[in-house]
């Protein structure tokens, strides 16, 4: 069947392919060098689980299956079918079942393509709003390849007179040609087969230049993912020597960050879960990645080809300021991306550039920075008052020479926010009832620095960390109990960048342990109550504490949990993460109100949170929905304490 010219075509296709890939490679390599990637074994596993195995892609059924079908219909035949076609018969090695299998795979592939077309052109979900001509061409192209494959198979059946039992799809297609004379059939077979072949060769050739590129890049990207706690930001170590901070030009991103841009499949799952996008802010994680990619493409064009090199500024022209400031760093996009693309690592670098280099940030943030600098808390309340919340509680402070196994870290909210002081007080009372030996730092405690860091002020964060580390060292702290998930995440996952080794627990983990050990027992009034628990991003996605808070709540007699539609790792941010707590929300709908509505849909009697920001956001949301008096929002610690009273 092959002509002598065919190897030449294949060679040409491969050359075009290689040139294209090399061009992309050069673009990625414009990024900054990084540390070597370790853990080959694990990465190979990831390849099989997440790329071949579709683990994350299948998180959503319709698009998941759709993709799986198309994937199999392309991948499996590509590996084998060429041989089958060439030899005009099914390899005996696999036998008839294999033929049947291939037929099913191809049929499912066609089904997958139809599902994809139906979804993209009829259902038109918001996340696919950026449909391009390329998308239609790709669908038709692959469809044609499979369809022609079946035609060819049908003709083969018809010509050879084989039974169609083991190739039912081919058999169906053979009917199309049954009227033709055998010589004509052979002729048609030859023509169709060649078209089929050329479509495949062409597809290979154009892969680096089209959306087919994702087949290669997405798979590799899965293997390049970062391990360890998610969302940990890059540490800046060279304040004294660096000339610039953050990223204001594309080539200041790292190579993997640039690679991400080519790995994005435009599936839009990220944007479908982004609280900023869903409340009409000018941020969509998908668009962020795609805009960066377009910028990379533009920069990659040889100067002269299109007049001049692009003069667009990364910040301002390519990515708007409001886009950069809209992110709550909730990590929902990270969790949902089937191919492990991250956005926060890019957003934070642009924020860093704006804050550290340009002093350009939302006006209200300046006071927050100064307050943290001068009084180590965002509100700017005198730092000597930091221990006052616990004055009446009989808690020993480390300053007074008390030593204990556990340091209770109140956090700024626990120490200064009137509402959250009630929560820190509840935590203290529970610990006291359970007979736990603990201290607090009182006025010597400092801000953990999470907000400063996530707003982009790494310099301020660094100074806050240095102060805290000094205090921790002074008192030989080994275990820290936190109330606020932001403190928790900072101390547990980000302070280790400074070499810390202390243990950090969140109150929800700790209390559950106390219940297990029988140190606290919950009775509760037993009154029936539907409680809706809202996952804090910094507890859930950042630290995978999903079960503990739920188990705590359900161990209270009478409490039943109601879950919001967006829950667990798809939980919708309250709107206060990423330093958004300290910025005005003047664009779009308010995130906290959107989240409150999601909770109220479930008609809960009360709402439970385990984070000071979430609590504030919910209380404000409940007020604006005029249900503040009927639906209470409380921290889990308060639920526990109430249940311990009786």
Half-sphere exposure of 487 (CA within 13 A, CB side): 29
Q: How many CB atoms lie within 10 A of CB 206?
A: 19
How would you label 517-535 residue by residue, b for 16+ Cβ within 10 Å and e otherwise?
eeebebebeeeebebbbbb
What does 333 bind: other proteins, ligand SF4, none (CB cut-off 5 to 8 Å by kind)?
A: ligand SF4
Query: Rounded to the nearest 5°, which phi and psi values hold at 168?
Result: -60, -40
Chosen from ligand SF4, other proteins, none, partner binding at 269 (C-beta under 5 to 8 Å by type): ligand SF4
Q: Which residues contact 59 (CB under 8 A, 6 or more apart)?
A: 336, 338
The site partner of 459 among ligand SF4, other proteins, none (C-beta below 5 to 8 Å per kind) is: other proteins
Answer for which of 68, 111, 180, 357 binds other proteins (CB under 8 A) is 357
CB of 460 to other proteins, least distance (A): 10
Rounded Cα–Cα distance for residues 249 and 209 (Å): 24
Report what 384 binds from other proteins, ligand SF4, none; CB cut-off 5-8 Å by kind.
Answer: other proteins
Residue 496 to residue 233: CA distance in whole angstroms: 12
- Three-state DSSP state, 106: helix
Stretch that binds other proteins, among 177-185, 239-247, 420-428, 511-519 (CB under 8 A): 239-247
Q: Quick one: 329 or 390, whose CB is closer to ligand SF4?
A: 329
Q: Two tokens at 275?
A: 């609280």
238 binds other proteins, rule: CB under 8 A: no
Asked if 582 touches other proteins (CB under 8 A), the answer is no
**Tokens representing 62?**
């319709």
Strands laid side by side in the 606-609 sheet: 559-562, 529-533, 606-609, 632-635
For the CA atoms of 264, 275, 131, 288, what is the dihedral angle to 10 degrees?
-50
- Verify binding: residue 416, other proteins, rule CB under 8 A: no
For residue 292, give the nearest of 332, 336, 248 by alpha carbon. 248
Would you tell me which residues interact with ligand SF4 (CB under 6 A)? 264-270, 273-276, 283, 285-286, 289, 327-333, 336-337, 339, 341, 343-344
Place of tokens 């594309």: 250
Q: What is residue 562's three-state secondary structure?
A: strand
Helix, strand, coil percent values for the chain (each to nearest 5): 60, 5, 35
Beta carbons of 453 and 419 less than 8 angstroms apart: no
Chain position carrying tokens 């001068």? 374
Decide if residue 517 touches other proteins (CB under 8 A). Answer: no
* Nearer CB in complex with ligand SF4: 138/529: 138
Smallest distance from the beta carbon of 488 to ligand SF4, in angstroms? 18
Rounded least distance, CB 593 to ligand SF4, Å? 16
Residue 363, contacted partner among other proteins, ligand SF4, none, CB below 5-8 A by kind = other proteins
Tokens of 124: 């038109």
Contact 271, 323 (CB under 8 A): no
Residue 607 CA to residue 74 CA, distance in Å, equals 48
Residue 369 binding partner per list other proteins, ligand SF4, none, with a CB distance cut-off of 5 to 8 Å that depends on partner kind:
other proteins
Q: Which of residues 362-391 bind other proteins (CB under 8 A)?
A: 363, 366, 369-370, 374-375, 380-385
Closest CA to 345 of 258, 468, 412: 258
By a kind-dependent CB cut-off of 5 to 8 A, residue 286 interacts, out of ligand SF4, other proteins, none, with: ligand SF4
Smallest distance from ligand SF4 to CB 330, Å: 4
| 83 near other proteins (CB under 8 A) | no
Is residue 62 a contact residue for other proteins (CB under 8 A)? no
Residue 572's beta-bridge partner residues?
none
CB nearer to ligand SF4: pick between 330 and 481: 330
- The encoded tokens of residue 288 equal 């962020």
CB of 263 to ligand SF4, least distance (A): 7
**HSE-up (13 A, CA, CB side) for residue 49:** 11
Using CB under 8 A as the criterion, what x/- string covers residues 449-488 for binding other proteins? ----------x-----------------------------
Reference 156, options 94, 102, 78, 79; nearest CA is 102
Residue nearer to ligand SF4 on the CB measure, 173 or 259: 259
Min separation Cβ 243 and other proteins, Å: 7
Minimum CB distance to other proteins smaller for 214 or for 383: 383
The CA distance from 287 to 270, in Å, is 10
Residue 285's binding partner, choosing from other proteins, ligand SF4, none, with beta-carbon cut-off 5 to 8 A by kind? Answer: ligand SF4
> Considering the rule CB under 8 A, would residue 510 count as an interface residue with other proteins?
no
Which of other proteins, ligand SF4, none interacts with 383 (beta carbon under 5 to 8 A by kind)? other proteins
Q: Which of 35, 38, 243, 418 binds other proteins (CB under 8 A)?
A: 243
Cβ proximity to ligand SF4: between 339 and 606 the closer is 339
**What sign for the dihedral angle of Cα 545, 549, 555, 559?**
negative
Residue 539 interacting partner from other proteins, ligand SF4, none (CB closer than 5 to 8 Å by kind): none
- Which of other proteins, ligand SF4, none does residue 356 bind to, with CB < 5 to 8 Å depending on kind? other proteins
Site residues, other proteins (CB under 8 A):
239-240, 243-245, 356-359, 361, 363, 366, 369-370, 374-375, 380-385, 459
């Amino acid at each position: 069947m092959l002509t002598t010219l065919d190897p030449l075509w294949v060679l040409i296709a491969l050359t075009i392919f290689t040139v294209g890939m090399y061009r992309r490679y050069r673009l990625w390599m414009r990024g900054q060098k990084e540390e070597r990637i370790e853990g080959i074994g694990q990465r190979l596993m990831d390849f099989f689980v997440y790329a071949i195995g579709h683990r994350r892609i299948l998180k959503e059924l319709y698009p998941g299956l759709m993709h799986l079908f198309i994937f199999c219909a392309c991948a499996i035949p590509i590996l084998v079918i060429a041989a089958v076609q060439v030899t005009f018969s099914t390899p005996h090695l696999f036998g008839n079942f294999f033929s049947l299998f291939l037929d099913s795979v191809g049929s499912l592939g066609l089904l997958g393509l139809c599902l994809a077309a139906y979804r993209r052109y009829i259902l038109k979900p918001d996340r696919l709003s950026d449909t391009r001509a390329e998308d239609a061409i790709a669908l038709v192209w692959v469809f044609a390849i499979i369809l022609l494959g079946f035609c060819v198979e049908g003709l083969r059946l018809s010509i050879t007179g084989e039974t169609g039992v083991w190739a039912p799809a081919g058999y169906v297609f053979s009917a199309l040609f049954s009227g033709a004379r055998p010589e004509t059939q052979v002729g048609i077979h030859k023509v169709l087969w060649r078209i089929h072949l050329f479509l495949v060769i062409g597809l290979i050739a154009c892969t680096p230049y089209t959306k087919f590129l994702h087949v290669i890049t997405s798979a590799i990207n899965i293997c390049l993912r970062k391990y360890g706690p998610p969302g940990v930001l890059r540490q800046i170590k060279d304040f004294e020597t660096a000339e610039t901070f953050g990223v204001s030009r594309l080539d200041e991103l790292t190579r993997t960050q640039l690679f991400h841009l080519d790995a994005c499949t435009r599936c839009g799952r990220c944007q479908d879960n982004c609280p900023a996008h869903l409340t009409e802010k000018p941020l969509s994680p998908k668009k962020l990645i795609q805009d960066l990619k377009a910028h990379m493409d533009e920069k990659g064009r040889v100067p002269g080809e299109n007049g001049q090199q692009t003069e667009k500024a990364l910040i301002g022209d390519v990515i708007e300021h409001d886009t950069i400031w809209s992110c709550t760093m909730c990590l929902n996009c990270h969790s949902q991306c089937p191919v492990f693309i991250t956005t926060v690592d890019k957003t934070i670098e642009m924020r860093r550039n704006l804050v550290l280099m340009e002093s350009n940030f939302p006006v209200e943030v300046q006071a927050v920075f100064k307050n943290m600098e001068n009084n180590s808390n965002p509100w700017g309340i005198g730092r000597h008052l930091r221990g006052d919340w616990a004055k009446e509680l009989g808690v020993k402070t480390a300053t007074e020479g008390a030593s204990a196994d556990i340091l209770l870290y109140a956090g700024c909210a626990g120490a200064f926010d009137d509402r959250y002081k009630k929560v820190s007080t509840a935590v203290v009372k529970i610990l006291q009832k359970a007979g736990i030996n603990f201290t607090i730092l009182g006025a010597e405690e400092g801000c953990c620095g999470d907000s400063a860091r996530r707003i982009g002020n790494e310099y301020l964060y660094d100074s806050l960390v240095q102060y805290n580390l000094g205090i921790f060292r002074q008192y030989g702290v080994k275990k820290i109990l936190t109330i606020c998930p932001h403190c928790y995440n900072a101390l547990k996952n980000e302070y280790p960048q400074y070499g810390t080794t202390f243990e950090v627990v969140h109150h929800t983990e700790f209390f559950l342990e106390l219940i297990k050990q029988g140190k606290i027992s919950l009775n509760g009034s037993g009154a029936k109550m539907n409680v809706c628990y809202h996952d804090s991003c910094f507890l859930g996605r950042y630290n995978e504490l999903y079960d503990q808070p739920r188990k705590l709540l359900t161990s209270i007699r009478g409490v039943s949990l109601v879950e919001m539609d967006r829950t667990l790792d798809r939980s919708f941010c309250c709107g206060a993460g990423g330093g958004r707590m300290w910025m005005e929300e003047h664009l779009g709908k308010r995130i906290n109100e959107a989240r409150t509505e999601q909770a109220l849909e479930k008609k809960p009697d009360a709402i439970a949170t385990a984070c000071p920001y979430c609590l504030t956001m919910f209380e404000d949301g409940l007020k604006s929905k005029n249900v503040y008096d009927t639906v209470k929002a409380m921290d889990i610690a308060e639920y526990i304490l109430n249940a311990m009273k009786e």
